[in-house]
Structure 1
Amino acid sequence: MPATTIHFIRHGQVFNPDHILYERLPGFHLSERGRGMAHATGRFLAAAPGFRDIAAVYSSPLDRTRETTDILLEEVNPARGKRGLDPLNPHYDERLIEAGNEFRGKRIGRGAGALWYPSNLKLVLDLSKPSWGESYRQIARRVSDFVYEKVEEYPDAQILAVSHESPIWTFRHLLETGHPEHNMLRRGTALASVTSITLDCGSRKVLGITYADPAAGV
């Protein structure tokens, strides 16, 4: 029974001393700690037998995910070379991008960026669109499109997909509960963590979901 596993990896910590909601804005890069997180997760991927046969690597096109992907491959590709495998090169896919957010560019929790700011209350009270312009259903739809396309394209293989907290958790929640709506404060997707989802290639049935946090000590 052929099955494909998509390993979703969240990017490392971002350098953001002003606590700006950066969303899809350019110019937000990994912090030194974030780079350390990506290296830790890359070493985890390079050493674990279950990750040795990765067929392809995809990434959100944003700065922080590109940088995380490059660091992961710095760790993974030498290990592949020792096994006589060709190096992996990243592909960028807009469907893995961060959720659109109407608070972009504002300081989190201050002034116009505060959830209790009068004009923000309507955004917070709508559970299907809590604080951003893109609904959970829209996020789940684009991530699902990516996943099922790759299951068909890479049968019985493993794929790395470097993305963001909201897309990763929204898709996982959809698979586990049947709906993408969730409490954003209860997500289980740490920085540089690995959420692995295995799907049967024929039926698309979920065969397993596992989670690892290799950078927890960084």
Structure 2
Amino acid sequence: MANTPNAASVTLLLVRHGLTAATGHTLAGWTPGVHLDERGRAQAAALGARLASVRLDAVVTSPLERCVETAQAVADAVGVPVTVDERFGECRYGEWTGRPLAELAEEELWPVVQAHPSAARFPGGESLAETAHRAVSAVRDHNARLLAAHDAPVYLVCSHGDVIKAILADALGLHLDQFQRLQVDPCSLSVVRYTALRPFVVRVNDVGGGTAGLRPASETSGDAVVGGGAGEG
């Protein structure tokens, strides 16, 4: 059988924003003014240092402050301007926005978000399927734009836990109902390489190679944290 001809690839670096005071406790959503805290700023600076030697052709971010600040730390390190794309913004959680996660876990919708997220629509907000569609469509658009201008482009998108999990699920060929099986920690790096034939998921939830969190707590919930949680550190 003849080999498939080589074609230019596009490499996407997916970065979740760094920690904020709300991360893992409150579903911030589109709440304005949620900035990186001291821990998040340190995470973003460390990620920028890790990626300083990588030639990036673009840095794209969600418009929310915590993502813009994370993306800017990387952009400063690599010398590339930041572009904002609202399609990479957080899921619009509607009436869930700003509420404690422990309280939301008692809502009737919570089990649907866990087991059947493709059917979950947040009251007064959007569905997870709509979030996934806009984010994956944005990736396709940026891939085409950059491929037209660069040879084998590499670019970074800074976004949110659920958004990144949806993009990874698409790249893995998973139904959205399986996306809760993925974990995306604050300031983690995931990598997808798109080729003419298929995407390759190169890296998922890379937080720098440390071993913290490899041994789970004695009691570990099977629920995925809506919004992504605060990580295992």
Task: Report if aligned partners of 2:136, 2:170 keep a CA contact under 8 Å in 1.
Answer: no
Letter in 2 for 1:105: G
Seen in structure 2, the aligned counterparts of structure 1 residues 44 and 148 have a Cα distance that, compared at 3 Å, is same
Q: String of CA shifts for 1:98-149, please: whole Å, max 9, x gaps.
A: 111131122221xxx3322xxx214533622457343332122111111111
Please point out which of 137, 153, 160 is paired with 1:145: 137
- 1:121 is matched with which residue? 108
Larger RCO (CA under 8 A, 6+ residues apart):
1
Whichever residue aligns with residue 187 of structure 1, its letter is L
2:9 pairs with 3, 28, 32, which one? 3
Asked if structure 1 preserves the Cα contact closer than 8 Å seen for 2:168 and 2:201, the reply is: no
TM-score (norm 2): 0.75
Q: Secondary structure at the match of 1:39?
A: helix
* Structure 1 residue ranges without an equivalent (≥5): 78-87
Shift of 1:2: 0.4
Equivalent residues of 1:170, 1:181 under 8 A apart: no
TM superposition score normalised by structure 1: 0.80
Query: What is aligned with 1:81?
Result: none
Find the counterpart in structure 2 of residue 93 from structure 1: 85
In structure 2, the CA distance between the partners of 1:115 and 1:163, relative to structure 1 (3 Å rule), is: same
1:82 is matched with which residue? none
2:160 pairs with one of 150, 158, 164:
164
Q: 1:34 aligns with which of 37, 40, 51?
A: 40
- Structure 1 residue aligned with 2:67: 65
Change (3 A) 1:12 1:18: closer
1:28–1:67 CA distance, 2 compared to 1 (3 A): same
Most deviating of 156-165 and 168-177: 168-177
Which whole-Å CA distance do the structure 2 matches of 1:76 and 1:215 have between them? 21
- CA contact 1:99–1:166 (8 Å) conserved in 2: yes
Flag as ranges the 4+ runs of structure 1 deviating above 6 A: none
RMSD across aligned C-alpha pairs, in angstroms?
A: 2.4
Does structure 1 conserve the Cα–Cα contact (< 8 Å) formed by 2:26 and 2:99? Answer: yes
Structure 1 equivalent of residue 21 of structure 2: 15
Contact 1:37/1:192, CA 8 A, preserved across alignment: yes
Gaps of 5+ in 2: 1-6, 213-232
Check the 8 A contact 2:11/2:192 in 1, yes or no.
yes
User: How far apart, in 1, do the equivalents of 2:202 and 2:23 lie?
Assistant: 34
CA distance in 1, matches of 2:161, 2:185: 8
Is 1:104–2:97 an aligned residue pair?
Answer: yes
Question: In percent, how many aligned pairs have the same letter?
Answer: 25
Q: Does the 8 A contact of 2:91 with 2:131 survive in 1? A: yes
- Counterparts of 2:70 and 2:144, CA distance in 1: 26
Query: CA 1:149/1:180 → structure 2, altered by over 3 Å: closer, same or farther?
Result: same
